[in-house]
Structure formats: structure tokens, C-alpha cells
Amino acid sequence: MPENKEIILGGGCFWCVEAVFQNIKGVTEVVSGYGGGVSPEPSYQSIGDHAEVIRVSYSSKTITLKELLEIFFSVHDPTTKDRQGADIGSQYRSIVICSKDEVEIVEQSIRDAQRLWGKPIVTEIIIDGKFFPAEDYHQDFYQQNQSSPYCQVVINPKLAKFRDKFSKYLK
């Protein structure tokens, strides 16, 4: 089995999940983008039926898919359809885009998250869906805009929750 793997995750605004996953030990790259739809050329201005997602590249010798999914289901609300906090719309839906070999792990992680949340999980699973990188100004957004109101009010609390609950995974 190859050591370097990828998973595509959507849990609301890609700036938020990107900021969390960039801090995880074993994650080698995080790219913000669009996925989960059929529109041929999504963009921020014309996202179509896609969701805001991140492509996470990671070393499976350092962190497992199960561990990444545990973090993912803890730092966003997978029980709300087409919404994360004040961000409303289908582009903010909870989604996992994976290979068919990973579906069983994703489904088990959803069952585990179900116990954590106590409400039905609405996360969409797509097998072998396409990923479209977002525009350059969306990449590394938190690192470049930490003092912006959105980062202060929305991203900082997510990062604090991640650091508190998952300190053993911090880079």
C-alpha cells in the first residue's frame, strides 16, 4: 500500500477546514478547491453544484484516514444540511470524496460521529469525485489573513477546539 494518500473533505467554508488540517502531523499538503458536483469549471463566483472542499495529502505512516476523519467530524457540524454556522448554501455541505477502497472507513467514521453528535449525520459520500483547485487567493487563506474579522471570529475558535481536543496530532 502506498504511504502517500489523499482524501477530499468539505465541512463548510474551505478556509476553516484548510486552517485546521494544515496543523495536523502527517499532513503534507492541503489545497482548497471545489468538488462533489458535475459543473465542468467551478470557480468562487460560479460554484454551480460543487461544495467548497480541501484536498488533504497525508502520510499514512504518520496518521491514518480514520484519525483524519475523527478530526474532520469534530471540527465541523456534520448534522446540518447545506450550512456551517452563518455560511448557508449547498456549497457549505458536509462531504467526503474518497476512493471505493475507503468507503468502509468513511462509513464507520460516520457511525462513530453519530454517537458524538447524537443527531443524524448528513455528510455526503462521493466515490472518485473530481477535485478542482480554487483560485490562488483562497490558498493558505488563514496564514495570510489572520487578523481579518472572519479569521478572528470563525476560524480561530475552530483552531482552538482542534488544538484542545487533538493536541497529540499537532505539528
Asked whether the beta carbons of 73 and 162 are under 8 A apart, the reply is no
Residue with cell 449547498: 90
Q: State the sign of the Cα–Cα–Cα–Cα dihedral 27, 43, 141, 20.
A: negative
Indicate the DSSP class of residue 136: G
Cβ-contact 93, 103 below 8 angstroms: no
Domains and CATH numbers, the chain: 4-169 (3.30.1060.10)
Each residue of 111-136: pLDDT tens digit?
Answer: 999 998 989 999 999 999 999 999 99
Distance CA 117, CA 46 (A): 32
The dihedral over CA atoms of 140, 26, 8, 165, expressed in degrees to the nearest 10, equals -80
For residue 126, the cross-strand partners are 97
Mean pLDDT of 61-79: 97
Q: Which three cell numbers stand for residue 169?
A: 496530532
Active-site residue list: 13
More confident residue, 35 or 85: 35
pLDDT at 74 over 70: yes
Answer whether residue 99 shows pLDDT above 80: yes
Question: With 70 as the cut, is the pLDDT of residue 1 above it?
Answer: no
Arithmetic mean of pLDDT, 55-62:
97
